[in-house]
Amino acid sequence: MTLTEAAFWTKRFGVIALGAFVVFVVVILTVTLGGEELMPPQYLTANYACTEKRDEFLQHKLEIPSLKLADGSEMVFEILTDTGKIDSLPEIVNVYKFDNPTQSLSAQASAKILANKIGFNPDSVIRRTDSYVWVDREIKKSLVVQAKNLNFQLTSEASYIREVSSTGNLPTENEAKSIAANALRSLGLYSEDYQKGNHQTKLINVTPDGTFTRVSSLDEANLIRVDFVRNKSMITIPSIIVGADSMVQALNRKMPNTHQVESQIVNDERIEIHTFNTLVMFPQAQKSNISVYVGVEDREMVKDNYASIYQIDYTYWPIQIESCGTYELISPQVAIEKVQSGEGSLAYLYEDYADDVSEYTPKRVKKFSITDVFLYYYEDRTELEYLQPIYYIQGEAIFENDVKGSFVYMYPAISYDIVQDKIDLPAPVVQQKSGIL
């Protein structure tokens, strides 16, 4: 081979090698960065759009009430997840505004309609400063309706519940769920975001003094409490934006079992809305804001829809359908560090198989073992301005004498330190009907 030929082939192989290197780099960048690029702008950079100014939003930092630990408890935590680490969670999610009602001039009329449906004489109302009250000795029930928002509580006399309970059998837990849902539906109070939930049940014994305790079998129970579960979307992807299919596939890998698809009409065109949902949690991890207590039927005393209903705790805060903005989160690891330093909110702490319906008493803990960290939303018993995400940190607690139990800590997930004024981000690129951009 001549020097000229050698130089030619050396140059040719150099070009081939350079080309191969470029292809390699492109592939690596596509694999490592592609997933981050396959998202609408508001989930790549938070838009902080719920308020114009950051200080307006920061006035509504979450303050979550906390149970107390007994003196001598140790804030010792270990991570015992299946992988030995905390799984990846979304870094930017939706925040929603509550549609908090103001008191209407027709509030009393609306409360009377509610009372009548349940079985009270609507004209027997007792007007108080902030509520409407009915007490009916014949049906042995009471009803208190809040004037501002029509949230309410229906209760029954303990002796009446125990008496009727002895005359028949409780429904199954699945039947109780259906009975409770039908009761809310007949009142027009079964909202869509609750209908999708996997509702939970607890078996309740009513003591002679009227307190409730949890029991383990239907034979011991007087009531079945149905706790209604609420869902809301962390991330929303309309099918009409460019790259929607790839985004959905990527999120399905990262957030399995949270994907739902709904169909909507937008500008006379039917599109699919892909939502990646999570639960809405409450101050007490074991109880919802909407609970219905189902028992043995007493058709002689109560209207048909409520012949099995003995108590309803109904606190409903309407949430706007569309998010008001997206916000960046602290990492789960930072949330755990905050809990370890005593800044978290203890939302559940009971020994295994203990009665978690009765009033909580502080306990002394030797060690907390974290088994799961979830990203949920938080709704209080009282009115809030925004539905915000929290980290829900759960696991096993070791008490004195090495007795085991379960715990839940909550910590606000939004990174409040970096919240900014509202950012105007470019809108996602939308596919044209012809498929040509």
pLDDT in tens, 354-374: 999 999 999 999 999 999 999
Q: How many CA atoms lie within 13 A of 228 on its CB side?
A: 27
Output the pTM of the full model.
0.87
Identity at 45, one-letter amino acid code: T
* Beta strands at 345-351 and 259-266: parallel, antiparallel or unpaired: unpaired
Question: If pLDDT is split at 50, 70 and 90, which confidence band does 319 have?
Answer: very high
Angle at alpha carbon of residue 371, lines to 369 and 377, rounded to 5°: 115
241-295, pLDDT tens digit by residue? 888 888 888 888 878 788 889 888 767 778 898 999 999 999 999 999 999 999 9
Q: Residue 23 has what pLDDT?
A: 38
- As a whole number, the mean pLDDT across the chain is 88
Q: Residue 363 has what pLDDT?
A: 93
In terms of pLDDT, which residue wins out, 172 or 23? 172
In terms of pLDDT, which residue wins out, 160 or 31? 160
Token duo for residue 318: 């309407």
Angle at alpha carbon of residue 94, lines to 90 and 99, rounded to 5°: 150
**pLDDT tops 90 at residue 312:** yes
**pLDDT tops 80 at residue 35:** no
Question: If pLDDT is split at 50, 70 and 90, which confidence band does 20 have?
Answer: very low
Q: Residue 26 has what pLDDT?
A: 37
Question: If pLDDT is split at 50, 70 and 90, which confidence band does 432 have?
Answer: low
Q: Under a CB-based contact definition with an 8 Å cutoff, are residues 398 and 75 in contact?
A: no
Cα–Cα distances (Å) from 27 to 33, 147, 243, 245, in that order, read: 10, 62, 19, 20
> Among residues of the chain, what percentage have pLDDT more than 90?
71
Computed on alpha carbons and rounded to an integer, the radius of gyration of the chain in Å comes to 27
Question: If pLDDT is split at 50, 70 and 90, which confidence band does 86 have?
Answer: confident
Q: Residue 141 has what pLDDT?
A: 94
Residues sharing a CB contact under 8 Å with residue 238, sequence separation 6 or more, in sequence order: 244, 266, 271, 272, 273, 274, 428
d(CA 428, CA 34): 16
Residue in the block written with tokens 């109302």: 125
DSSP 218: G
159-217, pLDDT tens digit by residue? 999 999 999 999 999 999 999 999 999 999 999 889 877 899 999 999 999 999 999 99
Token duo for residue 217: 């079998």
Cα–Cα distances (Å) from 30 to 33, 40, 91, 180, 344, in that order, read: 5, 17, 20, 51, 39
DSSP 430: B
Q: Under a CB-based contact definition with an 8 Å cutoff, are residues 84 and 128 in contact?
A: no
